[in-house]
């Protein structure tokens, strides 16, 4: 029988680094997207090449042009994944970014940005 891997543990996992909470705002309409990342620059580049679906409709450009049409600011930081998830949820509510922005109401059961890494480590054994 395969080993069950708990990727969505309720314990606050310290990843050994900082997790940043950010707000991405489309300048022309003021709509926002709240997210979390361990690398702000890399995440902005990711959004520039493949923005969330609803955002892609409002921001037609990609790459450097995309970066001129949006503003990204850091809202907070932590080292615990559960705390990061809780903070993200708080900011999503504060900025009403599901109803009036680009966050998706269908949140994943497990959002851990480290889940993929844990799976990769497990299967390298």
List the 70-80 sheet strands across, edge first: 32-37, 14-26, 70-80
Q: Which CATH superfamily is domain 17-124 in?
A: GIY-YIG endonuclease (3.40.1440.10)
User: CA nearest 36: which of 108, 96, 87, 71?
Assistant: 87
How high is the pLDDT of residue 107?
A: 56
Q: Is 10 helix (H, G, I), strand (E, B) or coil?
A: coil
**pLDDT digits over 72-111, tens only?**
999 999 988 889 999 999 999 999 999 999 998 765 445 5
What does each C-alpha distance from 78 to 34, 37, 81, 124 come to in angstroms? 15, 11, 8, 28
pLDDT digits (tens, 9 = 90+) for 16-25: 689 999 999 9
- The reply to whether the predicted model has a pTM over 0.85 is no
């Amino acid at each position: 029988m395969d080993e069950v891997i708990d990727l969505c543990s309720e314990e606050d996992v310290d990843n050994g680094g900082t997790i940043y909470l950010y707000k991405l705002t489309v300048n022309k309409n003021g709509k926002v997207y709240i997210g979390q990342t361990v690398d702000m620059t890399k995440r902005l580049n990711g959004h520039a090449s493949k923005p969330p679906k609803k955002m892609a409709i409002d921001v037609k450009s990609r790459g450097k042009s995309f970066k001129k049409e949006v503003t990204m600011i850091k809202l907070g930081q932590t080292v615990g994944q559960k705390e990061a998830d809780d903070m993200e949820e708080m900011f999503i509510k504060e900025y009403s970014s599901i109803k009036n922005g680009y966050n998706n109401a269908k949140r994943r059961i497990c959002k851990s940005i480290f889940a993929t890494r844990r799976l990769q480590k497990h299967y390298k054994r």
